[in-house]
């Protein structure tokens, strides 16, 4: 039995302590927004938030959730009122979602990045998201989206090229 908070709601679930969290979410709890790519900690597709920090759910076991708070992509917009989180909106608006397989992990990796650094340069975004791989976009639109979300969340105008020249 493991007890934890899932997307704002306390739950307890009967599960082997060594069940991978990605399987617990997708197969036992029906939360298929979390994706499994490599299953080996290399691609970031399975990223979730645990106590506000991004974690790889393919490398995490159910027992490690005890007493903690997990946010999956399904729960991200909670607390923002209605609708999508600003990062989700920015991904859509900037065309940063193509096949979409990497997108939940990308968005959840960007949440703590912007919490720690609300005004990142493009280089800081690239470094902060370097554990998340995308086969489709070439990353430019993903960086655009995170930068746009940062502005949206701070209500800032766009940086000039001189202020921010990284690709």
User: In terms of CB distance, is 45 or 113 closer to ligand FES?
Assistant: 45
Q: Is 129 near ligand FES (CB under 6 A)?
A: no
Rounded CA gap, 47 and 109, in Å? 7
Q: Which stretch binds ligand FES (CB under 6 A): 40-48, 78-86, 117-125, 151-159?
A: 40-48
Chain residues 91-110 in contact with ligand FES, contact rule CB under 6 A? 97-102
Cα 112 to Cα 19, 27, 151: the distances in Å are: 26, 26, 15
Q: Is 42 near ligand FES (CB under 6 A)?
A: yes
Q: Count of residues binding ligand FES (CB under 6 A)? A: 22
**DSSP designation for 61:** B
Smallest gap from Cβ 33 to ligand FES, in A, equals: 13
For residues 28, 100, 151, 163, the Cα torsion angle rounded to the nearest 10 degrees is 130
Chain residues 135-154 in contact with ligand FES, contact rule CB under 6 A? 135-137
Please give the structure tokens belonging to residue 91. Answer: 């991904």
Rounded CA gap, 144 and 76, in Å? 20
Q: Is 49 near ligand FES (CB under 6 A)?
A: no
Rounded CA gap, 163 and 41, in Å? 34
- Binding residues (CB under 6 A) for ligand FES: these are 36-39, 41-46, 56, 58, 97-102, 134-137
């Amino acid at each position: 039995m493991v007890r934890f908070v899932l997307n704002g709601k306390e739950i307890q679930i009967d599960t082997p302590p060594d069940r991978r969290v990605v399987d617990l979410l997708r197969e036992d709890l029906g939360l298929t927004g979390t994706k499994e790519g490599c299953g080996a900690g290399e691609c970031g597709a399975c990223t979730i938030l645990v106590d506000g920090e991004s974690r790889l759910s393919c490398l995490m076991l159910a027992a490690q959730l005890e007493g903690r708070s997990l946010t999956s992509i399904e729960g991200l917009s909670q607390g923002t009122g209605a609708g999508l989180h600003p990062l989700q909106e920015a991904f859509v608006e900037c065309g940063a979602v193509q096949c979409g397989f990497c997108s939940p992990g990308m968005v959840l990796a960007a949440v703590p990045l912007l919490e720690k650094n609300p005004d990142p340069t493009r280089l800081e975004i690239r470094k902060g998201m370097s554990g998340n791989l995308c086969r489709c976009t070439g990353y430019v639109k993903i960086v655009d989206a995170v930068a746009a979300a940062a502005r949206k969340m701070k209500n800032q105008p766009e940086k000039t090229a001189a202020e921010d020249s990284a690709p």
